[in-house]
Amino acid sequence: MPELPRISGDEAIKVFKKLGFYQVRQKGSHVVLRRDDKGGAIPRHKELAFGTLKSAVKQADISVDEFYCRLRRKVDKAGLTCRQ
């Protein structure tokens, strides 16, 4: 299992949207995302703390591997294949 990288809240939101989540609402700097009955709030900070990102991934009921794979596909486009 890869470690979660330091990314911004906006980058995390983009990855969650690629995974099928949609924005329900925003209050201040916090964006609430949903997919079916799962989801959570992501702060739009310049840099998310490891625990904050890990908690968001856990609340969304997705694996760290799945999140990391979608993030890397966006970042380096080096022919990485993700299991779907």
Contacts of 22 (CB under 8 A, 6+ apart): 33, 34, 35
Give the number of other CB atoms < 10 A from CB of residue 5. Answer: 13
Provide the residue count of the chain: 84
The yes-or-no verdict on residue 74 having pLDDT over 60 is no
Dump pLDDT digits (tens) for 19-55. Answer: 899 999 999 999 999 999 988 899 999 999 989 999 9
The yes-or-no verdict on residue 68 having pLDDT over 90 is no
pTM: 0.81
Domains of the chain in start order, with CATH, are 9-75 (3.30.920.30)
